[in-house]
Chain A
Amino acid sequence: NAGVTQTPKFRVLKTGQSMTLLCAQDMNHEYMYWYRQDPGMGLRLIHYSVGEGTTAKGEVPDGYNVSRLKKQNFLLGLESAAPSQTSVYFCASRVTGYQETQYFGPGTRLLVL
């Protein structure tokens, strides 16, 4: 049971390039989330999904798109990367229900030049 995994671990992009971050979970969780972490700002929710085929916007969705074609995978896309998207990205998942724990992946560090 690997829990939540993220690919890649680290990536450098040039402004305007695109990329996709992959999150995978093997816990059969319905809910999945993408956060970004910036110094002094905690973690902020980008997008989330409450089940296969569903997505919704979080607190800071601009410049990102997501897809949840399979229950175990949640993809975060950057169509045209900007330096302001330099951050550490974390994926999390949890079961449905009341007041349940979110489990986080190890993170993807992204540098946009």
Chain B
Amino acid sequence: GENVEQHPSTLSVQEGDSAVIKCTYSDSASNYFPWYKQELGKGPQLIIDIRSNVGEKKDQRIAVTLNKTAKHFSLHITETQPEDSAVYFCAASGGGTSYGKLTFGQGTILTVHP
């Protein structure tokens, strides 16, 4: 089955700096890669996703890149703010009979210091 590795496990930045979180996946059939943000005591919330026919996607301060050849994808947050502090999860999903099942990375605790 699919295996997703996420790094780093913790990330501490100063407000205004950029943050980068990286994930690798094992199944070359995976074609959908969402990123979720989880605040304390809440469920994961989708912040951005990318599909396998796209190399990069941007939404304001957040961007995601995908390298299908190397089987890795990354989340980039620019101009970080204290409210960006949360746990971030990457995930991967395949097509066909996968029925949208997601395999998650282990999570990254992002702390943005004012």
Q: Which residues of A contact B (CB under 8 A)?
A: 4, 31, 33, 35, 40-45, 48, 50, 56, 58-59, 90, 94, 98-107
Known pairs A44-B104, A102-B46; list 6 more (Cβ under 8 Å).
Answer: A4-B43, A33-B101, A59-B103, A90-B43, A104-B45, A107-B41
**Across-interface contacts of A45 in B (CB, < 8 A):** 101-103
Which of the residues B36, B46, B93 comes within 8 Å of A99, measured between beta carbons?
B93
Q: Is the CB of B43 within 8 A of A107?
A: yes
- Contact pattern, B 32-68, Cβ under 8 Å of A = 1, otherwise 0: 1010100001111110010100000000000000000
Identify which of B1, B42, B100, B107 contacts A102 (C-beta below 8 A): B100
* B-side contacts of A90, CB under 8 Å: 43-44
Q: Does B73 contact A (CB under 8 A)?
A: no
- The reply to whether A42 and B49 contact each other, CB–CB distance below 8 Å, is no
- List residues 82-99 of chain B with CB under 8 A from any CB of chain A: 89, 93, 95, 99
**Residue in A58, A103, A107 whose CB lies within 8 Å of B101:** A58
CB distance from B95 to the nearest CB of A (A): 7
B18 at the interface (CB under 8 A from A): no
> Chain B residues near A100 (CB, 8 Å)?
100
Which of A31, A43, A106 makes the CB contact (< 8 A) with B89? A43
Give the complex CA separation of A22 and B66 in angstroms.
Answer: 36
Q: Are A42 and B99 in contact (CB under 8 A)?
A: no
The contact sample of 9 A-B pairs, CB cut-off 8 A, is A31-B100, A33-B102, A42-B6, A43-B102, A56-B99, A59-B1, A59-B103, A102-B100, A106-B41
CB distance from B64 to the nearest CB of A (A): 14
Which chain B residues lie closer than 8 Å to A33 at the CB level? 101-102
Provide the bound-state CA to CA distance between A33 and B102, in Å: 10
Query: Taking CB as reference atom, which chain A residue is nearest B49?
Result: A101
User: Nearest Cβ in chain B — how far from A111, in angstroms?
Assistant: 15
In angstroms, Cα B45 to Cα A31, docked, is 17
B31 proximity list for chain A (CB < 8 A): 99
